Structure 1
Amino acid sequence: MPPVDDGPTGVHCRLDELLTERGLSLTELSKRVGVSIVNLSVLKNDRARAIRFSTLVAICEALECEIGDLLVRS
C-alpha cells in the first residue's frame, strides 16, 4: 500500500468565507447541493484530497460564484 500523503496541497478552499458572505450555513448548503455535511466540512477545512467536478459545479451554482472564487492557490 502506498504511503498516505497528508501534507498541504497548495490549494485553499474559501468555502467558509463564501458561506459567511452569503449568510448560509453548511447545513443549508448541504441540502442545496446534495453533499453530506461531513464531506463539505472536509472541503471547508482544507482536508479534501479531491473533489468531483459535479460537486464543484453544484457548490458554485448554489453560492453564485466561480470556481476561482472557491478554490485558490495557497
Structure 2
Amino acid sequence: MAIILRLDRVMADRKISLNELAARVGISNVNLSNLKTGKVKAVRFSTLDAICDVLDCQPGDILEYTREGSLKREE
C-alpha cells in the first residue's frame, strides 16, 4: 500500500492511548488497531475527520505517501 497511516507519533505527542482514541472517535479498538497496523485498505473520510478532530491534527500529520516500489529500489 502506498499510503500509510502513521498514528503512533501523533498519539504519543498527545499522550492518548489506542483505547481512548477509539472511544473518542467512535470505532472499536480492533478497527483502530487494524488502521494503525495497515491491515485495512481504506479509511472513511468521516473516520479520518474524527481522528484528526480528536488528535487536533491535519490529515497530512498522520498520512504518509510512498511510491509503490520505492522500497524495492532502495534494497
TM-score higher than 0.5: yes
Within 1, Cα distance between the matches of 2:8 and 2:38?
A: 10
Gaps of at least 5 residues in structure 1 are 1-8
Deviation per residue, 1:40-72 (Å, 9 max, x gap): 001111222011110000000000000111111
Gaps of at least 5 residues in structure 2 are 67-75
Return the match for 1:32 from 24, 27, 43.
24
Within 1, Cα distance between the matches of 2:29 and 2:23?
A: 9
- Equivalent residue pairs, number: 66
Q: Which amino acid aligns with 1:47?
A: K
Within 1, Cα distance between the matches of 2:5 and 2:59?
A: 10
- State the TM-score, normalizing by the size of structure 2: 0.83
| Equivalent position SS for 2:42 | coil
Q: After TM superposition, which residue ranges in structure 1, 4 or more long, deviate above 4 angstroms?
A: none
1:58 aligned to 2:50?
yes
Q: Which has the higher helix share?
A: 2
